[in-house]
Structure 1
Amino acid sequence: MPQNKTLKTIQKFRVGSCNNNTHFKNKKNNDNRIGTVRLMHDRNIHKYHFIDFIELSKKYTYLNAYMKKKKNGNFFYNFEKSIATYLLSKAILKEYYDINFYLPSYIYDKNMSLFFDTICLLSHENLEKSNSGFIKFENVTKFKHDLINAYNEHTRRIPNLVNTDVNCTINHSYISDAHDDMPNPHNDENNEINNDKFLCPCVPGRVNYIHIISDLALVEMSQVVQYEYFTNIKNNDNYVNHVNTNMRTNESIETNTKISTDASTNISNDIVLCGKHIKVLDIGVGANCIYPLLGNNVYKWSFVGVDVNLNSLKYCYINILLNNKENDILLKYQKNKNEIFTNIIQTNDLFFFSICNPPYHSLLEQVNKNPFRDLSANLSEVVFANELDDKSNEGQMDKEILDKVKLDNNKSFNDKMKHLTKEEDNFSKYNTKEKDLTQKSKHKTISYNNTNGCEGGEYSFIINMINKSSKCFYNVIWFTTLVSKYKHVKLIKNKIINSMRLYTTHKNKQVEFLNNMLKNDLHVNKDFYSFNNNTKTIPFEVYISQYRVFESYTGRITRWIVCWSYYNQQQINYLKNIIYQQRC
């Protein structure tokens, strides 16, 4: 008996000592972090190449200011200040993607501000002359070279500036005579731009978003060779046929990325469509221009970036010029902050994707509640609030009640949709209190109310985007958005499934319309696909045909990507097949 008691005591002691051991805890945390990193997308370079901060700081010496030493002698990178994130992103973008990256306010540079002031004047002139809303200039080449020189000088001086509060003052002697007609920079004391703050991205998570949605542009070679698209689609006794030409399946394709699978040593010949003919709309592109720069770098896609903040677009344009991407990335100014797609998407546009990193908060007071992180961002990047309209809300409630009656009558489809709900049970590993709260509010909407009678935040922004996407349902193949909270995923999914239920009942006109658009109105204009330029009137309601929910893992952070489309899968496959045949 005493021996058994002693043995139990020793076992308890061992367990306790192991849990209280600092080395054990650190090892466990590192294992968890590495485990989630391994869940990154297979084409994400950061899944296989862990960032070695010590080696990176040797090449990019401005990182040394935030390399700290622990008591045990190990070094770590201190993310406490926003400038640390900015400098790390700057180094990663250059090291892994050869992308030049600049944001103001972290390290203010008077010389870089000179170019910003020039772009300010040119953009105002451009917007006054044109109704297109594009931020693009014909005479930009005469000072782009000097802009790059100023940026290189700025980057060289960063190590001397990160530990001081003195603004960077660079010798202007290398500015060419071509800039004699440039406007003088405003006085720093009166320049509002000096106080602008913009969100700095974490690169591995952003590029993971790009890689995940790229799977939606994946072409299965077996279908390209063997399958005749639209052969079995029947709409009002009309068939839409498309016969494939001979495909060069064994030849290398420069404009596409081949995908290989390691599972069971099977090799897949599937490819991801690349090149500028895949056009992407970035809602809320921001000053960092991170998604267009990464998407164009990795997959050569073309982008149209949209923002409600004109200053964000101007700094975004600086990043575009620094990387010589002004022909691949275009910018548009959304003057109406209450709109998302209106005045941006034209009737003849065809985007393969729309992407969005929505504002997280509904109130300004919610920003920087985390005491361990100092978030520097523009208001429009992190806060979304829209005023309530009682009358419109009443009308919306009546419509939702009517929709619910229709859904209850559709019993057969309810049975078919049960597997969709079960499909999301793979989120069960996150079934914390948030999941229980989501189940209780399954048929309710989340409201973020304050004393001013406003609602907003991530959930409200995405629901608004879903509602407005129906107005341009044929202009975008896949609408996508990032979601930061799991409790919002289930509610957003329910919103989409409600629309899908109606799609099964009323899909005939929608399917026929989209079939006709793809067969008769689709054409190639230079390098882009678009529809014939004639206004389309839609005399019927449209509904979402399908959706996807992906999990995105980066470090200790998990995000979700929700995608929805008004096209059915056969129509999307047909379009991908056309793009593949004409581009290969």
Structure 2
Amino acid sequence: MNPPHQRPPQRQAAAKSAPASPLHPRNRHQGRYDLTRLVAADPALRAHLVRTPAGSQSIDFSNPVAVRELNRALLASDYGIAHWDIPEGYLCPPVPGRVDYLHGLADLLAADAGGSVPRGPALRVLDVGVGANCIYPLLGQAEYGWSFVGSDIDAGALQSAGANVRANGLQDVIELRKQHARGQLFEGVLRPDDHFHLTLCNPPFHTSAKEAAQGSQRKVRNLGGAASPRGKAPALNFGGQANELWCTGGEASFLRRMVRESVDVQAQVLWFSSLVAKREHLADLHRQLAKAGAVEVREVGMAQGNKQSRFLAWSFHAAGQRRAALRGD
């Protein structure tokens, strides 16, 4: 991919938004989990099955070990990812929501490619904050055959992510890079000859460790688990290290920094994107992007159960430039 290096006209197309909706039509996880099939793919999941008050089978979603085993079963049965693990305490992401983000990004590319999703390793994606779970590269490679670069500031996370990549024989299509400069997102990771069709990110959204702990307590209570004793950190059902859950200024500050940095590397990326957990941050982000000179901004709603989410994507390239880049012109 060799996108044009000239700066496009300084205008911003009208932001396009979509209301939150059920899982993407291409998402494999519509409806209830088929636990019989998942146990067949990962027999260790059987130990975590519970009976609901209505008499149906489920798992205890307040138990981080059960959630991790469910992920392992989903990845094996639905995506052919035979080996996956994360160290205790690291973020264990819900697979259906993560793959929905990838499907939404695939639709962005399809709109620039005549309606067909570009597939194969020539399509390059940068995952900012790949984490120990390496979930986006593993899912994106399985679904669309894309190649990935995953960056992270945490050496332990990169070690775990690398083990997952090697265990599945994906070293040729998933590369991991250490971000050495705390506070930087693209600088220090992108090389001068790098070009990416997409970037994606699941940013930390709390402003402090205390706020993250309070949010975890609420989540555990909502899932029917017992609250932690006063002064003791709760066991997180989806885990998470400090840099995965919170940063100074929280999500709003992190995303403003991403917008600023994207200006400097705009010639190397067709579409930048990030999940946005808090709807109240969107108006300011749209203002920041208009000021930065983004020519197109897309706000895409997502939903999983009662949880409403969305991602924001922006490009400094006009539609014709993006189409040419996807054709390899």
CA contact 1:305–1:330 (8 Å) conserved in 2: yes
Pick which of 472-481 and 50-59 moved more: 50-59
Counterpart residue number, 1:44 = 27
| TM, length-normalised to structure 2 | 0.83
Give the 3 Å change call, closer, same or farther, for CA 304–71 of structure 1 in structure 2: closer
Alpha-carbon displacement from aligned partner over 1:438-466 (angstroms, at most 9, x marks no partner): xxxxxxxxxxxxxxxxxx11111011000
Q: Which has the larger radius of gyration?
A: 1
- Give the drift of 1:469: 0.9
Evaluate the alpha carbon distance shift between residue 45 and residue 566 of structure 1 in structure 2; reply closer, same or farther with a 3 A threshold.
same
| Whole-angstrom distance in 1 between the partners of 2:152 and 2:280 | 27
Q: Which has the higher helix share?
A: 1
Structure 2: how far apart are the matches of 1:70 and 1:568? 52
Q: Does residue 465 of the first structure (1) align with residue 310 of the second (2)?
A: no
Q: Report if the CA contact (8 A) 1:219-1:577 is conserved.
A: no
| Pairwise CA distance, 1:303 | 0.4
Percent of residue pairs identical: 30
Tell me the distance in 1 between the aligned counterparts of 2:47 and 2:261: 46
Q: Secondary structure at the match of 1:311?
A: helix
Residue number among 560, 568, 580 corresponding to 2:318 in the alignment: 568
Alpha-carbon distance in structure 1 between the residues aligned to 2:20 and 2:185 = 33
Distance 2:79 2:20 in 1: 19
Paired position in structure 2 for 1:208: 100
Q: 1:545 to 1:72 in 2, by over 3 A?
A: closer
Q: Which residue of 2 aligns with 1:193?
A: none
Aligned-pair distance for 1:37? 10
| Aligned position for 1:345 | 190
Whether 1:558 aligns to 2:308 is: yes
Please list, as runs of the form range in 1=range in 2, the aligned pairs for 1:88-237 lying within 5 A after superposition.
88-99=70-81, 100-105=83-88, 197-218=89-110
Unaligned runs of 5+ in 1: 1-35, 106-196, 224-269, 386-455, 500-542, 580-584
* 2:247 is the counterpart of 1:384: yes
Asked whether the equivalents of residues 203 and 251 of structure 2 are also in contact (C-alpha less than 8 Å), the reply is yes
- The structural deviation recorded for 1:574 is 1.7
Which residue in 2 is equivalent to 1:483? Answer: 276
SS at match of 1:332: strand
Query: What is the distance in 2 between the residues matched to 1:72 and 1:212?
Result: 34
- CA deviation map 1:474-519 (0-9, x unaligned): 01110000011111122212222334xxxxxxxxxxxxxxxxxxxx
Contact 1:219/1:576, CA 8 A, preserved across alignment = no
Cα 1:577–1:364 change in 2 (3 A) is same
TM-score norm. by structure 1 comes to 0.48
Distance 2:245 2:52 in 1: 34
Q: Deviations over 1:511-548 (max 9, x none)?
A: xxxxxxxxxxxxxxxxxxxxxxxxxxxxxxxx211110
Amino acid in structure 2 at the alignment position of 1:218? A
- Tell me, in whole angstroms, the C-alpha distance in 1 between the residues paired with 2:241 and 2:303: 25
- RMSD of aligned Cα (Å): 2.0
The within-5 A match list for 1:529-568 is 543-568=293-318
| Residues 203-241 of structure 1 deviation map (CA, whole Å, 9 limit, x = unaligned) | 0000000010011211677x6xxxxxxxxxxxxxxxxxx
2:53 and 2:23 mapped to 1: Cα distance?
32
- Counterpart position of 2:170: 325
2: distance between equivalents of 1:56 and 1:469?
A: 40
Aligned-partner SS, 1:65: helix
CA contact (8 A) 1:279 1:351 kept: yes
Q: Is the 8 A contact 2:20 2:309 kept in 1?
A: no
Q: What one-letter code is carried by the residue in structure 2 that aligns with 1:551?
A: G
Q: 1:70 to 1:299 in 2, by over 3 A?
A: closer
Tell me the alpha carbon deviations over residues 143-179 of structure 1, each in whole angstroms, 9 at most, x when there is no partner.
Answer: xxxxxxxxxxxxxxxxxxxxxxxxxxxxxxxxxxxxx
State how far apart, in whole Å, the 2-side matches of 1:470 and 1:333 are.
22
Q: How does 1:52-63 map to 2 (within 5 A)?
A: 52-57=34-39, 59-63=41-45
Report the AA paired with residue 548 of structure 1: R
Distance 2:56 2:180 in 1: 50
Residue 573 of structure 1 deviates from its aligned partner by 1.5
Greater RCO between the two (CA within 8 Å, min separation 6)?
2
| 2:12 corresponds to | none
- Residue 367 of structure 1 and its aligned partner are, at CA, apart by 1.6
2:150 aligned counterpart, secondary structure: strand
The structural deviation recorded for 1:72 is: 4.7
Say if 2:151 is the partner of 1:306. Answer: yes
**Preserved contact between residue 489 and residue 560 of structure 1 (Cα < 8 Å):** no
**8 Å contact from structure 2 (residues 20, 308) kept in 1:** no
Within 1, Cα distance between the matches of 2:187 and 2:158?
18
Q: Tell me which amino acid in the other structure corresponds to 1:560.
A: R
> How far 1:71 moved relative to its partner?
4.6
CA drift at 1:575 = 1.6
1:7-47 alpha-carbon deviations (Å, 9 max, x no partner): xxxxxxxxxxxxxxxxxxxxxxxxxxxxx997221221223
